[in-house]
Amino acid sequence: MSELIDQRNDKNLRRQLLTTASALVLVLYGAESKAEDTDRPTVWIEIGGQLERMPRFEDSISPTFAVRTPRPSFETVSPLSLLQAPRYATGVEGKLTFEPSGSAWVFSAAVRYGRSNGKRHFHNQTYTPTHLQNLQSNGYVTPGRFQDVTTKFHESHTVLDFAVGRDVGLGLFGTSVANLGVRYAQFSIASTIGMSSKPDFIKIRTAAGAGKYFSRAGFHNYTADSNAERSFHGMGPSLSFNGSVPLTHREDSGLAFDWGVNGALLFGKQKAAVSHHTYGRYAQAIKYPTDPHYDRPHHRTSSRSVTVPNLGGFAGLSMRYTNAKISFGYRADVFFGAMDGGIDARREYNRTFYGPFATISIGLGG
């Protein structure tokens, strides 16, 4: 009987010891977790910059005199090669993130702004012989053959994001946050183009009677100009997924691989106002009448509601510290059919940005 009592007491003692040990582990683990949550910053402020490549986003005028073949011998550069908008834009970005202590939820607001400006002036002219200069001084002829091209471009873009996310914890993939929010995008483009050309100089021999002749000078003169303003404003729901995979880990720092994908559907307004004018004439010495070849003005305005899908992603490396993070990476964003880039008729262009970026983040609170 005493043996049964001893066995029962031993079982009770072991149960009590296991219960006590389990409770102690839970208490210690809970205290450690709370300490980590307390030490972790609750607010992150991020600032940075980017260099973005921008593929073609609008058509350019191509007047007949600029595309004729063969090219005049003195034109060392094709006028159309000078009409391209800037290929790169520079910008800044910022982000504010709030991560409540003891919670898996993440609240964020981000802004990205970029711009590019371009201005070109190209003038090419042949030598004007002395006898033509004398004729010019008498009011009979203009200087020798030439081409002149002037272009101005201005582009700006702004993207705002407001999101609520939650750490979904995919284990082997490190931290993973799914975000649902709203994205706003604004794109503006303005361009001005001016072209003029006098590709030839012709002497015309005319009979004056009684076996006498006289010569007068003639030439073709062409001009073309274009002004365009294009824009898109849109807003809509967005969904993104960001992750970070630790590559190294130290007590106070670590290197991580960061990645993310995003998508949005923007509802907004697409506008375009385009005007251009091409003029060509044959002129003789100014004491003789001119002969217009063509005079073609054109003006178009367009405003319509559009739905623009947006897809993007990024990948990079970050060096993480307790209250700071430095990141470098490469990012791409495509807004499908966002711009009306046509001249005489509407033509959709994607608004695409891709290139390197760098940011620095500071953690506060905790």
The CATH number of 41-364 is 2.40.128
Q: What pTM does this model have?
A: 0.77
Parse the chain into domains and list their residue ranges: 1-39, 41-364
Instruction: Give the model's pLDDT for residue 12.
Output: 55
pLDDT score recorded for residue 34: 40
| Cis amide bond preceding 70, omega within 30 | yes
Q: How far is CA 323 from CA 319, 327, 360, in A?
A: 11, 14, 11
pLDDT at 228: 93
Structure-token pair, residue 275: 């005007």
Q: What is the pLDDT along the chain (366 residues), one digit of tens a residue?
A: 444 444 444 555 445 544 444 443 333 333 334 444 456 788 999 999 999 998 888 888 878 777 776 677 667 777 777 777 888 899 999 999 998 888 889 999 999 999 999 888 887 777 655 545 455 444 444 556 778 888 899 999 999 999 999 988 765 557 889 999 999 999 999 999 888 887 776 665 555 556 555 556 667 778 888 899 999 999 999 999 998 888 887 767 789 999 999 999 999 999 999 998 888 877 665 555 555 566 678 899 999 999 999 999 999 999 988 899 999 999 999 999 999 998 888 999 999 999 999 999 999 876
Residues in the chain: 366
Which residues, including other chains, have CB under 8 Å from residue 154's CB and lie 6 or more apart? Answer: 115, 116, 117, 188, 189, 190, 191
What pLDDT does residue 366 have? 64
What's the CA gap between 156 and 113, in Å, rounded? 8
What span, in angstroms and rounded, lies between the C-alpha atoms of 79 and 196?
10
Q: How far apart are CA 20 and CA 47, in angstroms?
A: 50
Among 354, 265, 350, smallest CA distance to 58 is for: 350
Strand 212-246 and strand 324-340: the pairing is: unpaired
